């Protein structure tokens, strides 16, 4: 039995690798950034070769920085950005087109096609999703219509692509949580739906095999010749080859992995990850709950023949709002600047930002609406805009949690949070105030990696049972609500009025 689980977290802006010990300690390696490609308005792409290289390099980093672990890894877990879609050649793994990222809105027109709109209720009832460019099916259709060379390619989400490459093309599989985000997957039958495959022109034999999160996805089988195609040193290649024979024993999409990592293992428990986007998930147990409020339902994880489901609300612009303040607006030099600026004024002076940079997700599902600043006056300055931008993140999450209560009848008493944006005390306190509940920040913000590491560890016997995992959860800080109901109502009504303005524009 080894001493570590190797956890790979392939995200939207970077790839990270970690070593997870039995006591729950997660040791990070140096992250590897991913280049964002914007070929047109609303278009977002990644280079699949760069994605794969970033995984190899991240593994090298964490093991090089912890050389004692090189031959002491018991299993591997992979968590990933979910809806991002890659077409690649079955023999060579060559890609005729870039990966189309989950944020990409190029398929808005496809979603409006009559033949697809006519299937809207069927799609919702079968997949738990809304018709939206967010999901993989329309991305696959766009690739087939615009990239003739893709006709016979395999089509996968990032997890399937990585499993295929890391196992030397022996296994092409994707876990239920990732399959759930393709808009092709029957979440009750846990298999692809043939009517939807036909609707989107996707061949069943070109898709990854659906598998439970806790499964043996095959052994790593890297080839020195293939690794030589990448910018890796000889010593790094030799290090990677030591992983050959280690099995991939856990796969899960980033958000359900974070839900598991947050120890939200029981019905009604919820978490929000504040990353590039914000993702609020509630564990709804072993039977899917279908939302009447525009939220999504997906398989969360599956082990020992039992599948758990989650109700989910997605905010497309979370931490990316702070990146916008830094990179495009030049209002801050670094993310940590936002707290002192927000605390420097009492309020925004009635200014609201609706950050619909790539449309709005739940509960609006409008791919065409664009961002808007409202309430500007001659007295509006940098501080008001910065604070309104940070507040917009909390307003969006508050809407989602309130809708979950409406759908389930469960009023959460606490919400667990993770992600880099949680470093903002101003945002976390506001979130507690708006929801009127305790916000508990995990000791580590890397709950996606933690979650898939736990799942992988359960599969290979590294952890004995899920019941033991609650002892590994550690909190870092909690926030208690202190805002009056009247002030909460005033703030939320102001934000919702701004959303209505954006939708009408």
d(CA 348, CA 344): 11
Average pLDDT of the residues in 277-292: 90
Is 111's pLDDT higher than 70?
yes
pLDDT at 420: 85
Is 163's pLDDT higher than 90?
yes
Domain segments of the chain as ranges: 4-255, 263-442+474-505
pLDDT at 470: 79
CA-closest candidate to residue 434, choices 353, 490, 389: 490
Is 474's pLDDT higher than 80?
no
HEC readout, 401-439: HHHHHHHHCCCCCEEEEECHHHHCHHHHHHHHHHHCCEE
d(CA 400, CA 362): 7
What confidence tens digit (pLDDT) does each residue in 2-44 have? 799 999 999 998 999 999 999 889 999 999 999 999 999 889 9
Q: How confident is the model at residue 429 (pLDDT cuts 50, 70, 90)?
A: very high
pLDDT at 363: 84
Is 179:185 a contact under the CB 8 Å cutoff?
Answer: yes
Question: How far does Cα 178 stand from its chain's mean position?
Answer: 10
| Lowest mean pLDDT, pick from 48-57, 104-113, 270-279, 421-430 | 270-279
Range among 70-74, 212-216, 473-477 rated most confident: 212-216
Domain 263-442+474-505 in CATH 3.30.70.580: no
Q: How confident is the model at residue 466 (pLDDT cuts 50, 70, 90)?
A: confident
Is 472's pLDDT higher than 90?
no
Residue found by looking up tokens 């990409």 in the block: 104
pLDDT at 503: 95
pLDDT at 1: 67
> What percent of the chain stands above pLDDT 70?
100
SS3 376: coil
Is 318:278 a contact under the CB 8 Å cutoff?
Answer: yes
Is 101's pLDDT higher than 90?
yes
pLDDT at 191: 97
Is 302:325 a contact under the CB 8 Å cutoff?
Answer: no
Tell me the average pLDDT of the chain. Answer: 93
What confidence tens digit (pLDDT) does each residue in 133-153 have? 999 999 999 999 999 999 999
Average pLDDT of the residues in 204-211: 97
d(CA 133, CA 39): 17
pLDDT at 136: 97
What confidence tens digit (pLDDT) does each residue in 331-345 have? 999 999 999 999 999
Q: Which sign, positive or negative, has the C-alpha torsion 112, 114, 115, 117?
A: positive
4-255 and 263-442+474-505: identical CATH topology = yes
Give me the CATH code for the 4-255 domain, please.
Answer: 3.30.420.40
pLDDT at 380: 96
Name the β-bridge partners of 15: 10, 32
């Amino acid at each position: 039995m080894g001493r570590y689980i190797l956890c790979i977290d392939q995200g939207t802006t970077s790839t990270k690798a970690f070593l997870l010990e039995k006591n729950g300690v997660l040791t990070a390696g140096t992250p590897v950034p991913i280049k964002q490609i914007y070929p047109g308005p609303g278009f977002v792409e990644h280079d699949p070769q760069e994605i794969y290289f970033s995984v190899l390099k991240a593994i090298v980093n964490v093991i090089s920085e912890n050389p004692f672990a090189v031959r002491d890894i018991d299993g591997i877990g992979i968590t990933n950005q979910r809806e991002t879609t890659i077409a690649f050649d079955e023999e060579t793994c060559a890609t005729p087109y870039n990966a189309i990222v989950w944020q990409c809105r190029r398929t808005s027109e496809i979603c409006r096609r009559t033949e697809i709109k006519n299937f809207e209720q069927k799609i919702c009832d079968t997949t738990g999703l809304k018709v939206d460019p967010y999901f993989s099916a329309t991305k696959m259709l766009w690739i087939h219509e615009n990239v003739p060379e893709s006709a016979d390619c395999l089509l996968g989400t990032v997890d399937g692509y990585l499993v295929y490459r890391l196992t030397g093309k022996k296994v092409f599989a994707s876990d239920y949580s990732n399959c759930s985000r393709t808009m092709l997957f029957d979440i009750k039958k846990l298999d692809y739906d043939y009517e939807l495959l036909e609707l989107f022109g996707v061949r069943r034999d070109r898709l990854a095999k659906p598998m439970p999160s806790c499964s043996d996805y095959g052994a790593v089988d890297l080839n020195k010749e293939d690794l030589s195609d990448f910018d890796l040193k000889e010593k790094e290649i030799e290090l990677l080859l030591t992983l050959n024979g280690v099995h991939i024993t856990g796969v899960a999409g980033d958000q359900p992995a974070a839900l598991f990592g947050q120890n939200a293992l029981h019905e009604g428990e919820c978490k929000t990850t504040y990353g590039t986007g914000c993702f609020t998930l509630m564990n709804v147990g072993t039977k899917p709950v279908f939302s009447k409020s525009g939220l999504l339902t997906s398989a969360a994880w599956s082990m020992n023949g039992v599948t758990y489901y989650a109700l989910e609300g997605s905010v497309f612009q979370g931490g990316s709002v702070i990146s916008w303040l830094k990179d495009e607006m030049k209002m801050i030099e670094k993310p940590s600047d936002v707290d002192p600026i927000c605390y420097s004024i009492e309020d925004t002076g009635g200014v609201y930002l609706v950050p619909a940079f790539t449309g709005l997700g739940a509960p609006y599902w409008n791919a065409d609406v664009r961002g808007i600043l409202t309430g500007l006056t001659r007295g509006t300055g940098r501080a008001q805009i910065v604070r309104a931008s940070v507040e917009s993140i909390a307003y969006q999450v508050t809407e989602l949690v309130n809708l979950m209560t409406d759908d389930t009848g469960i009023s959460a008493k606490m919400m667990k949070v993770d992600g880099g944006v949680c470093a903002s005390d101003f945002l976390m306190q506001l979130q507690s105030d708006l929801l009127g509940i305790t916000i508990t920040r995990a000791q580590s913000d890397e709950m996606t990696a933690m979650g898939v590491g736990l799942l992988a560890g359960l599969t290979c016997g590294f952890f004995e049972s899920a019941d033991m995992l609650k002892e590994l959860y550690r909190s870092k800080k909690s926030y208690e609500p202190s805002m009056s109901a009247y002030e909460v109502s005033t703030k939320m009504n102001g934000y919702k009025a701004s959303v209505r303005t954006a939708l009408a524009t």
